[in-house]
């Protein structure tokens, strides 16, 4: 346990100072740094979430349970937290709608700051917390490049990227998702940041169907689809490795000639299709899209995509 405490103190000293300088309250402080303690540990203001990776089958339950208790004790000691301020979750591969299943009905929401944005977090009721920490630099990029632009947020989740776009001066935002739960959450984020609904719309729709429509153009689009989706609310099945070429091409049809599409995926071993996308200008933005707390591991891949003859202002 002493090894884990020492590592947490070191990481917290380095990353905590960086987070304060960046006006960030949510960041990853530990991610399987020590093989014996296979956790992803994230700070959310005055709370810590510990996501435990599934142990190999050859490790006994007794040893797994002992290491878990040691890890919780180390977090309490280093961060000076009460046990109720630590949320423990099990981390394993999710399929379909599993990542959106309700784990609890605590309704334990609290607010965190991310630069100028204020966002609602819930660590207990869902597998995800309401904020994808690894996309923080992308949200900053969107905020810094949204002024005077029409912004489209596909598979928007709780619309944190739209909040940043609106705060960055976007003339309008449209955020699309199939989940009523997350659209309600997005609405609360808008209200928290005093973002009006007239020019910042939330739409319940299947993004695949929406991209097949002929109306509306945008200057800046964020496309962050799930790795796999077979929602009960839609007849469409999405496999991002197989379908991303069509998805990107359809999204590019929504993009103005001088606009920019940000495409991101967290699928392991993902390969970007070359043939159908060669008509576009594509730049790998991955290394710039990962914050200091995620640079040790390649959590996602990100590309900036534009029409080939469009002027590059980004």
Residues of the chain with pLDDT under 70: 92-106, 230-235, 310-314
Q: Three-state SS for 166? A: helix
**Quick check: 257 and 294 in contact, CB under 8 A?**
no
pLDDT at position 96 is 46
Q: Three-state SS for 40? A: strand
Which domains does the chain show, CATH number per domain? 2-92 (3.30.750.80), 109-307 (3.40.50.150)
Q: Which DSSP string corresponds to 242-304?
A: HHHHHHHHHHHTTEEEEEEEEEEE--TT-----TTTTTEEEEE-GGGSS-TTTTTS---EEEE
pLDDT at position 310 is 59
pLDDT at position 107 is 73
Q: Tokens 């296979």 — which residue?
A: 38
pLDDT at position 221 is 98
pLDDT at position 98 is 47
pLDDT at position 297 is 83
pLDDT at position 88 is 96
DSSP letter for 83, please: G
């Amino acid at each position: 346990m002493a090894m884990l405490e020492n590592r947490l103190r070191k990481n917290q000293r380095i990353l905590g100072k960086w987070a304060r300088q960046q006006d960030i309250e949510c960041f990853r402080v530990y991610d399987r740094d020590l093989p014996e303690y296979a956790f992803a540990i994230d700070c959310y203001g005055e709370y810590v979430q510990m996501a435990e990776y599934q142990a190999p089958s050859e490790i006994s339950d007794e040893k797994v349970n002992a290491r878990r208790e040691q890890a919780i004790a180390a977090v309490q000691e280093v961060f000076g937290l009460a046990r109720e301020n630590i949320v423990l979750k099990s981390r394993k591969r999710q399929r379909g709608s599993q990542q959106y299943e309700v784990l609890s009905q605590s309704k334990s929401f609290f607010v965190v700051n991310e630069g100028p944005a204020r966002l609602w977090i819930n660590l207990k009721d869902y597998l995800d917390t309401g904020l994808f920490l690894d996309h923080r630099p992308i949200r900053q990029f969107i905020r810094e490049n949204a002024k005077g632009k029409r912004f489209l947020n596909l598979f928007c989740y709780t619309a944190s990227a739209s909040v940043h776009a609106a705060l960055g001066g976007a003339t309008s935002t449209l955020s699309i998702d199939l989940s009523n739960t997350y659209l309600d959450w997005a609405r609360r984020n808008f209200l928290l940041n005093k973002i009006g609904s007239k020019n910042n719309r939330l739409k319940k729709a299947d993004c695949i169907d929406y991209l097949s429509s002929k109306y509306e153009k945008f200057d800046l689009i964020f496309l962050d689809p799930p790795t796999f989706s077979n929602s009960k609310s839609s007849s469409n099945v999405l496999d991002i490795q197989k379908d991303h070429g069509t998805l990107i091409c359809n999204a590019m049809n929504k993009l103005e000639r001088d606009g920019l599409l940000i495409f991101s995926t967290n699928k392991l071993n993902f390969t970007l299709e070359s043939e159908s996308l060669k008509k576009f200008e594509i730049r790998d933005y991955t290394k710039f899209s990962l914050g200091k707390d995620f640079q040790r591991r390649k959590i996602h891949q990100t590309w900036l995509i534009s029409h080939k003859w469009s002027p590059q202002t980004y």
